[in-house]
Amino acid sequence: MKQLLIAAALALLAIGPATAGKPAPKSEGIEAEGYKWNAQEGEKIEALKLTGNLENGEEAYEVCGACHLPSGAGRPDGTFPQLAGQHTTVLIKQIADIRAGLRDNPTMYPFAATLIDPQELADVAAYIESLCIPNQHGQYDDADKMIQIALGRDLYQKQCQECHGANGEGDKDKFYPVIAGQHYKYLLRQMTEIRDGKRRNANPDMVKVIKPYTDQQLVAISAYQASLKMPGQMCQD
């Protein structure tokens, strides 16, 4: 049955948005009065209470591997983030938000929709967190790389470190993601969308911090974050 759901999701993606059937729902996010970024309700709170089964999670992850790769490494060009080693809490929240229409991601929605219940959501999150972390990530590689990393370090230590940690390790209990070693282009795209109000499930506190940043400052911060080493079990080359 799971294989049929995966095949259906792949078919919907292949035929494109014009004929992909029912679109993702759209719920009010950060723009809504009284929005609570870390509100845990519905399937989110149910999944967070459960212990994920790694074997079942591996099967459920097959549908994710089509874009994020079987290794969970994502794509250096920033189209798909690295997932391997990410906190289960972050994964559960983001997948549930996409399913509920709080985060706009029409590419991922058909795949996220194949997860049938909170247990399967917990299973796939546990499996992804258990994956070894690839040694190579998409980096900022222009000629001024070291200058940008130095500028980004200063900005990060002043305003990002308090939440995301000195080494970009995030905070599992507070739903702050691991950002160390994430692909540079993905980081830049997400921070730009958060600053510009296009990420509807963003943390309002982060929006306030990042709102004044220029495009060049976001480049620098992203370059620095991508240069950090992710915590966790690194893959063996």
**How many separate domains does the chain show?**
2
Confidence check: pLDDT of 125 > 90: yes
Return the higher-pLDDT residue of 19 and 112. Answer: 112
Q: Say if 65 falls within a structural domain.
A: yes
**Which pLDDT score, from 0 to 100, does residue 17 have?**
42
How high is the pLDDT of residue 27? 84
Q: Give the pLDDT mean for 185-189.
A: 98
User: pTM of the full predicted structure?
Assistant: 0.90
- pLDDT band at residue 7 using 50, 70 and 90 as cut-offs: very low
Tell me, yes or no, whether 13 and 122 share the same domain. yes
Residue-number span of the structural domain to which 192 is assigned: 145-227
- Per-residue pLDDT of 172-185, as tens digits, reads 999 999 999 899 99
Q: What is the mean pLDDT of residues 141-165?
A: 97
Tell whether 21 and 101 lie within a shared domain. Answer: yes
User: Which CATH number is 116's domain given?
Assistant: 1.10.760.10
Under the banding of pLDDT at 50, 70 and 90, the label for residue 3 is: low
Phi and psi angles of residue 86, each rounded to the nearest 5 degrees, phi first:
-70, 150
For position 14, what pLDDT does the model report?
44
CA–CA distance, 192 with 198 (Å, rounded to integer): 8
- Asked whether residue 100 carries a pLDDT value surpassing 80, the answer given is yes
pLDDT, residue 31, reads: 84
Q: What is the mean pLDDT of the chain?
A: 89
pLDDT at 109 over 90: yes
Does 115 lie in the same domain as 179? no
Q: Are residues 23 and 121 in the same domain?
A: yes
Indicate whether 50 and 77 sit together in one domain: yes
Helix H or strand E segment including 144:
none
The residues that bridge with 216 in the sheet, in sequence order, are none
Alpha-carbon distance of 188 to 127, in angstroms, equals 26
Give φ, ψ of 210 to 5 degrees.
-90, -15
116 in the same domain as 24: yes
Is 53 a domain residue? yes
Q: Is residue 138 part of a domain?
A: no
